[in-house]
Amino acid sequence: MFWWTFALAVVISTFVLLKKRKREASFQLPHMDLYEGRGPSRWYTGVSRFFFVGALFFLIAAVLHFTVGSGPLRFFFPTIEGEPQFKKVLFFVVDRSGSMGESLADGSTKMQLVRKAVQRYVDKNGRDELFGLIGFARAADVEVPLCDDRNFFNTKLTELRPERIERLNGTAIGYAIIKTIYLILACQEFSGKEMRNSMIVITDGIEEPHPADRMDPFRSIRSEDALKKAAEEEVSVHYINIDPRAYGRMRLEERGRLRALVERTGGIYAEVSEGRPLEGILKQIAKQEEPKAHYPTPQVIGVYILILALFFCTVSRLLESFFLRVVP
């Protein structure tokens, strides 16, 4: 209702100025046939007519814009990089099973590789994000609850160690994903705000819950079922396998199905290889997680158009009042 009131005020003020101009001036613009002069005044007359016609054009455009309602004129305006209207939530779900302590070719361990890559991601990206850390083996433990304290996050990340106790070992990927989903939903319910929710799962193996948990419906939940739940709850899941030997043991159709389910959540499925390092994959994820440029709302664009109409009308009036008015 405010916008229609504003548009009506512009219309009324325009016609009032037009009527006043006809009454006070010894000639009328933009009708050039009533003026036979030469010199600078003719130039001012042309400029005034241009601004007056422009005011009418933008006024009509604003009326059409508000009447249509869907804001079709937004495509003629440049995009505006807006401030995020909500916090982004990103959980790192990191495998800490015993195999993460295995050495790589450069002498470092898989866990050290992951810690280094994740720390660089957190330090360089997502100033508007809340970060959390889940470490999983047989169980999934909250190492860092959601926070924006990067120093605290990095400290806890360096303390993440591969599991050495056999009865606590395992690779319960589905359990870790489903637990993270419910943590995110609980945080969103508590905050009462809209959030963009994501997680990055980093593992070096295939799903292998602890044998003692195979009858537990929660701890033995499959990754496929957890990913379907993520898609239902609009939680993006990025899935990275860092060991070629592990994903090489999976059948191609299994990998294809896993990729499809991950992409269904809006995430990226990736496998680390010699030509595709972990840091490169995380950079790709960071780029996808960046806030997208967006157009202003239709109401804002309509106000822009009305302001242009007022500006053109004002300039036309000033030209007539100070340069073209003839005093009898």
Tokens describing residue 198: 């994501």
Within 8 A by CB and 6+ apart from 169, the residues are 97, 98, 137, 138, 163, 210
Q: What is the mean pLDDT of the chain?
A: 79
Task: Note the Cα 213 to chain centre separation in Å.
Answer: 39
> For 1-5, 75-79, 119-123, 225-229, which range has the lowest pLDDT when averaged over its residues?
75-79
Spatial distance between the Cα atoms of 269 and 267, rounded to a whole number of angstroms: 7
State the pLDDT confidence band at 278, using cuts at 50, 70 and 90.
very high
* pLDDT cut 70: percent of the chain above it: 68
Please report the pLDDT score of residue 43 as a whole number: 56
In 10 A of CB 103, how many CB atoms? 10
For 36-80, the pLDDT digits (tens) are: 444 455 555 667 777 777 777 777 776 666 655 444 554 554 444
When comparing pLDDT for 181 and 125, which is higher?
181
Q: 251 pLDDT exceeds 50?
A: yes
When comparing pLDDT for 19 and 170, which is higher?
170
Domain boundaries, the chain: 2-78+296-324, 88-289
Q: 296 pLDDT exceeds 80?
A: no
Asked whether 299 and 3 are in contact (CB, 8 A), the reply is yes
Spatial distance between the Cα atoms of 196 and 109, rounded to a whole number of angstroms: 33
Please report the pLDDT score of residue 105 as a whole number: 84
Spatial distance between the Cα atoms of 159 and 181, rounded to a whole number of angstroms: 24
**Helix, strand, or coil (residue 37):** coil
State the pLDDT confidence band at 293, using cuts at 50, 70 and 90.
very low
Tokens describing residue 84: 């995020």
List the one residue out of 61, 60, 17, 25 whose CA is nearest residue 45. 25
For 109-133, the pLDDT digits (tens) are: 999 999 999 999 999 886 668 899 9
Asked whether 147 and 153 are in contact (CB, 8 A), the reply is yes
pTM above 0.75, yes or no: no
Asked whether 225 and 207 are in contact (CB, 8 A), the reply is no
Integer distance in angstroms from the first to the last C-alpha of the chain? 45
What is the gyration radius of the CA atoms in the chain, in angstroms?
A: 32
When comparing pLDDT for 238 and 7, which is higher?
238
Spatial distance between the Cα atoms of 262 and 251, rounded to a whole number of angstroms: 17
Q: Residue for token digits 């239902």?
A: 232
Spatial distance between the Cα atoms of 82 and 80, rounded to a whole number of angstroms: 6
Spatial distance between the Cα atoms of 69 and 82, rounded to a whole number of angstroms: 22
Please report the pLDDT score of residue 269 as a whole number: 97
Averaged pLDDT, 25-34: 46
Tell me the CATH number of domain 88-289, given options 1.10.260.40, 3.40.50.410, 3.40.50.300, 3.40.50.620: 3.40.50.410
Asked whether 134 and 176 are in contact (CB, 8 A), the reply is yes
* pLDDT cut 90: percent of the chain above it: 47
Q: How far is CA 228 from CA 112, 240, 263, in A?
A: 31, 17, 11
> For 62-66, 88-92, 249-253, 278-282, which range has the lowest pLDDT when averaged over its residues?
62-66
What residue type is 67 in one-letter code?
T
Please report the pLDDT score of residue 309 as a whole number: 73
> For 11-25, 42-56, 141-155, 227-241, which range has the lowest pLDDT when averaged over its residues?
11-25
